[in-house]
Structure 1
Amino acid sequence: MMKILSEACGSLTAGYIIKNVQKAGHISVATDMSEDCFGKHLADEFYSVPSAADKNSPEFLKKLVVDNNIEMIIPTLDDGLLNWALMKRELSEKGISVAISDANTLKVFLDKWETYLFFEKNGIPTPKTSLKQQYKLVKPRNGRGGSGIQITDEPVDMTGNISQELLSGTEVTIDVLCDINGMPVYIVPRIRLGVKEGKATGGQVIKNEKIEEYVKTICSSIQFIGPINIQCFIKENGDISFTEINPRFGGGSVLGMAATENWIPLMIKMFAEKENIIPSADIKYGLKMGRFYDEVFYF
């Protein structure tokens, strides 16, 4: 039985990681900035932490995981991903595994301009993108979710922003689990059937061989390890256009696991035991997910 830490347990979608850690027979340790968040009452242990933007956050977290005998960390908070990646080697020497890709990979995909350049370089179809205001869609280079995104013809200060060709069609998220060699073990495309605050409130797993081939090309072009999620559009003419890659679990990745198997034991095998993994489940294409509000009562 391992102690596994997950982050931002006050977010709307944090519960599924806590539950899957527990279903796998391990101890769920959760963190959040708020002392009074619902995830505190779902996890087996809880710790309040400073903002990832706090300059003291890395040292605080390092001490937290060492002092509390944490054995694996599943980073999910964009603002802190790079800090965890930079601490991977030091924590590994203390017997603590960090389930995330290396820092050089993260630096590409935490910057939407660098992501665009990666897609262009490797022949992955992607919308036209500029550091100038050439296109209607304007979004932060380092933004997350829908924060800071605007569609406008009005002049915008482009400092820290990119503009991008506006796409239409069906938005698809692909949950991917990569092995220790960076090769995809599972590729699970899903469409959103509802969205709230940038998180999927419903979804359905789909089969699309063209998407799967592009994902294999992406994964062979740069080294990922563990869970990632990739965003793309299927345009009305059937063409695919990729927009971003998040090197972590997504808010709706619970559907990717439900359509395959619990990824937590696979991640333990890969990150903690340093062994390769093989898929043991067929993907349940057509599987749908719905979400609803639930309650936690506490004093």
Structure 2
Amino acid sequence: MALRILTEASGSLVSGYLIKAVKGANCIAVASDIDPDCYGRYLADEFIQMPLKSDSELWDKIIAALVEQKVDIVIPSFDEMVLGWSLRKDLLLEKGIQVIVSEPKVIEIFQDKWLTYHFFTKNGIPTPNTSLEQIYPLVKPRNGRGAKGVQIATQPVDMTGMISQEFIKGTEYTIDVFCDKFSNPIYIVPRKRMNIKEGKSTSGIVVYHEDIIHWVKKICERTSFIGPINIQCIETESRDLKFIEVNPRIAGGMALGFAATENWIKLMVDHFVYGKEIKPVQVKYGLKMMRYYNEIFTFE
């Protein structure tokens, strides 16, 4: 019987590849979103309407819906929900639902840019200088995603819940990483970000970068990631690397990481559900991705 896999935020412009990857793994794609008419509903096999995050019964409603729809696997992708999924991994597993995500202590570090900075400095990972005070020109939320709330501040700003960071000019890289159940990084796929819209990569190219791979291995050695994660860094003109953040979840631009290796959804099913050993394939360096708008047509 085909497994039923839930994907989040199915109205996101970059969520379509995940739904296709679920189907490509011969699983049933269960999309979800707060918008009952999001486009992902029509790409997927089935759909769950999610309650608002402010709903006092949020998780009770979500869990009830997962049980009713007989969901087998959840692959979190929505930043605001990742920690909640992680905290409920054991509860959901008791109900036969496997959540593929890192442990809460890992999520808490990397969803907070100030704690991430301390993790990097403590472990000798090169990173921009960062402060809770408005010392550096780049100001961003401690807990934020994409480019939302990020600014080059020329005037004093309210630093509540914010950090300031040394502005690093250079080439931006995103690294797609797949870690097995023992937290070993099986795939490390650096991709150069060529075009970015609202913090999301709309085109890029997979490159072999020995130094990036070296440092990503160091990051993975110092903590316990599970499944897909996403790391961002900048290479300066002098070829120094500065690691900016870690997203401990599957990411929108990972379509390129999948295409350069294999279907990571199938990989997760085979490894985390059926316990199969992973035999990585050769990364397709030089593979380029470009994105475009597509249409969904349906009757009212």
Within 5 Å, give how 1:108-123 maps onto structure 2. 108-123=109-124
Normalized against structure 2, the TM-score is what? 0.97
Aligned to 1:222: 223
Q: Deviations over 1:132-155 (max 9, x none)?
A: 000000000001111111101210
* Worse-superposed segment, 26-35 or 269-278: 269-278
**RMSD of equivalent CA atoms:** 1.0
Letter in 2 for 1:173: T
Letter in 2 for 1:178: C
Distance 1:261 1:270 in 2: 13
Unaligned runs of 5+ in 1: none
Within 5 Å, give how 1:1-299 maps onto structure 2. 1-279=2-280, 281-299=281-299
Contact 1:179 1:276 in 2 (8 A): no
Unaligned runs of 5+ in 2: none
Instruction: Find the residue that maps to 2:88 and give its secondary structure.
Output: helix
Normalized against structure 1, the TM-score is what? 0.98
Distance 1:230 1:54 in 2: 31
Distance 2:53 2:216 in 1: 30
Contact 1:180 1:275 in 2 (8 A): no
Structure 1 position 35, deviation (Å): 1.0
Contact 1:33 1:49 in 2 (8 A): yes
Structure 1 position 36, deviation (Å): 1.2
Identity across aligned pairs (percent)? 52
Q: Deviations over 1:199-247 (max 9, x none)?
A: 1111100110100010111001000000000000011101110000001
Letter in 2 for 1:238: R
Contact 2:39 2:296 in 1 (8 A): yes
* Worse-superposed segment, 183-192 or 262-271: 262-271
Distance 2:197 2:46 in 1: 28
Letter in 2 for 1:289: M
Instruction: Find the residue that maps to 1:230 and give its secondary structure.
Output: strand
Distance 1:53 1:18 in 2: 26
Distance 1:188 1:6 in 2: 22
Distance 1:215 1:54 in 2: 38
Contact 2:148 2:198 in 1 (8 A): no
Runs of 4 or more above 6 Å deviation: none
Aligned length: 298
Q: Deviations over 1:17-45 (max 9, x none)?
A: 00000011110000001111110100000
Q: Deviations over 1:43-74 (max 9, x none)?
A: 00011112334342221111111111100001
Contact 1:174 1:190 in 2 (8 A): yes
Contact 1:202 1:288 in 2 (8 A): yes
Structure 1 position 270, deviation (Å): 2.8
